[in-house]
Structure formats: structure tokens, C-alpha cells
Amino acid sequence: MWPTTTWARSTPARQGLDAAPLEELHRAVQSGRYGNTDRLVVIRHGYVVVDHDYGLDYREISRGYRGPLGCGYEACDASWMHDFNYYHPDYHPYYQGRSVHSLQSVTKSISATTLGVVIQNGALAGLDAPLLSFFGDYDLSSIDPRLRAATLRDLLTMRSGIEWHESDRPLDASNTTIQLERSEDWIQFTLDQPMDTDPGEKWAYNSGGSQLMSGIVREVTGEHMDAYAQRHLFAPLGIEDFYWKKTPRGYPDALGGLYLEALDLAKIGYLYLNDGVWAGRRILPPGWVDQATQRHVAAVNQAGWGYGYQWWRPDRGGVDVWAGLGFGG
């Protein structure tokens, strides 16, 4: 049973789940314990067994608010009325009154998935290709020679060696990702950054590296990532409504710009749970799901989380867990 058109509905008990913890979670969300949570969906055996929409009023939540990433309702001048205002209800978390919701850095996981689709369709041989081989049209004259040894695999596992200060800096001008979003050419900006290690040696959370995926897809397919994903990933899964923010140069924001509805985002998870096959059609290469969700990097934080191909591994209690995670929870 494939939810291409619609998800079938069931109950937790019918699908072998204890309903009590799920109801407890729902009540905790309602109480505000987890902040501004908009939707809670649980899929089990291909059935929707939990689906709660919390209907928060973001005009009131954001009214008068100003911060380093934008301004809220009735707090903005015209210069802040654009897609990269992270506080205004026209742009975040839902887009322009639609039901598509910001994924923030969960976008990275789907961008990497799109790269997997490109490999399955034969436009890219694999992940061992040199990273810089896809950026011949960019100015590489000041590139640290060490970056020439980086591969696509290094990029996907955030071990390119590029120096990047995102998780270790406040949300101000010292943060490399803030600098990236204020630049005219996100790809050139990333390529221009210094190196602080050889490729493959050090993990560093690097949203600019994720943006390079957008350039790679464009180079090898002739299409921008959003158009390619729409034809070869979203359409087979029945995902019709989405929005993908663009950079000043017109490239899709591969690091955090995708908006999807909750039940469509669940289709990405279901594709992975079925080894990249959807309704008998192989969408991702054989073995991709296993490799993408592996702990290629064993421990990237004090909690001991691992990292795969733009997927996190926050394993807990002896259970393997892979997840997409985005800014703001």
C-alpha cells in the first residue's frame, strides 16, 4: 500500500503501538512544553496513526518581535519583507498562508536525497568524484590546495575541511552562515572560505557545504535542484505542493529553504524505510539508504550523535535512530 495519493488511517493499537505515550506526548505539546510545535504526525506500517494540528497564531506570536534574523508581524519595514525573514508569519514557519511549512535544515537531508536520485538516474557516477570538478565556472584561483582532494562523500558527511563557524558562533556577523546568507553568491562565498584541516579528517557543521549540492545538481543535470526534485523525487511520491527559497543567484537554498506539508515530509521517511523504492519503482540507488543513514562520523557532539549523508544519528537506548533536524526544533 503506497500513500502516493493519500495516507491510509488507522489507530496506534491496530498497528501494534501503545497509545498512552503518544497521547501523553500530544498533551505535552498542547501544554507548550516543546515550544511552538505546529503538527505531530506518526506513521506506522504505512498508516497515519497520530495526526494533530495545533493551529498556532503566528501573527500574535511574532507581533512586535525583532531579532538578529528578522522581525515579526507589525515590526518590519519594507527591507525585511523577503523570504529570509525568519520571524514574520508571511515567511515562517508557513509560507504565504499556505500549508507548506519551513523545514530549515531538514532541507539538507532532502537535498542529499536529490543527489542520490541524480546518481540513480545516471547523471552522476558516484560520491568519489573530486568536489571541485563541478565548479569549473567559478573562481578557484585562491582555493587552498587541500580542497582539491575533497570528494562528494566528504561534502555529504561535512568533512570537506573548509573552516566554518556556525554552531560555535552567535547569530551575528561573526557567524559564517549569517555571512553566507548576506552574500550575493552563496556558492562562491563557500568556495572562498579558508581550510582548517585536510578533507576527511574533521567534522564541522557547514551549511555552505550543503549549498554546494545545489550547484552540483545544476552542473550535472542542467536543471536547478528544485525542478529536478519536482520531476524525479516529488512527483513519483505524489508530492505536489512545495516551496523552495532561492538565493540571489537563483539557486535553490539547499541548506534550509524547502517547505513541505507534514504528510508529504513523511513520504520522504517512508521512501527511506522502503530502501529507496516507491510503488515498485527504484528512486534511490541500491544501498543508498543504508549508506546515507550510517554513522560515517561516530560522534559529532557531547551527546555522542553520529552523522551520515546529511542525516543525523541521535541513537538512544541501544536503538538506531536516523533523523533530519532543523533550526528552531
Is residue 1, in this structure, part of any structural domain at all? no
Is residue 163, in this structure, part of any structural domain at all? yes
Neighbouring C-beta atoms of residue 141, cutoff 10 Å: 5
Q: What is the dihedral of CA 142, 147, 153, 156, to 10 degrees?
A: -50
Q: What integer pLDDT is reported at residue 329 of this predicted model? A: 86
Q: Supply the range of the domain harboring residue 40.
A: 8-53
Q: What integer pLDDT is reported at residue 1 of this predicted model? A: 82
59: phi then psi, degrees, rounded to nearest 5: -65, -45
Half-sphere exposure of 263 (CA within 13 A, CB side): 20
- C-alpha cell of 253? 537554498
Is residue 97, in this structure, part of any structural domain at all? no
Is residue 3, in this structure, part of any structural domain at all? no
| 154 and 48 assigned to the same domain | no
| 33 and 129 assigned to the same domain | no
| 43 and 160 assigned to the same domain | no
| 76 and 199 assigned to the same domain | no
Quote the CA–CA distance of 229 and 124 in Å, as a whole number. Answer: 15
| 109 and 77 assigned to the same domain | no
Is residue 23, in this structure, part of any structural domain at all? yes
| 300 and 215 assigned to the same domain | yes
The model's pTM is 0.98
| 40 and 62 assigned to the same domain | no
| 287 and 147 assigned to the same domain | yes
Neighbouring C-beta atoms of residue 174, cutoff 10 Å: 11
pLDDT tens for the chain, 329 residues: list them.
899 999 999 999 999 999 999 999 999 999 999 999 999 999 999 999 999 999 999 999 999 999 999 999 999 999 999 999 999 999 999 999 999 999 999 999 999 999 999 999 999 999 999 999 999 999 999 999 999 999 999 999 999 999 999 999 999 999 999 999 999 999 999 999 999 999 999 999 999 999 999 999 999 999 999 999 999 999 999 999 999 999 999 999 999 999 999 999 999 999 999 999 999 999 999 999 999 999 999 999 999 999 999 999 999 999 999 999 999 88
Quote the CA–CA distance of 3 and 21 in Å, as a whole number. Answer: 26
| 197 and 311 assigned to the same domain | yes
Quote the CA–CA distance of 96 and 259 in Å, as a whole number. Answer: 11
Is residue 126, in this structure, part of any structural domain at all? yes
| 65 and 201 assigned to the same domain | no
Between helix 207-221 and helix 106-120 the angle, nearest 10°, is: 30
| 61 and 49 assigned to the same domain | no
Q: What integer pLDDT is reported at residue 35 of this predicted model? A: 96
> Per DSSP, what are the bridge partners of residue 243?
259
| 39 and 141 assigned to the same domain | no
Quote the CA–CA distance of 31 and 318 in Å, as a whole number. Answer: 30
Is residue 22, in this structure, part of any structural domain at all? yes
Domain count, the chain: 3
Quote the CA–CA distance of 68 and 262 in Å, as a whole number. Answer: 27
Asked whether 103 and 39 are in contact (CB, 8 A), the reply is no
Q: Is 318 exposed, middle or buried (0-12, 13-18, 19+ CB in 10 A)?
A: exposed
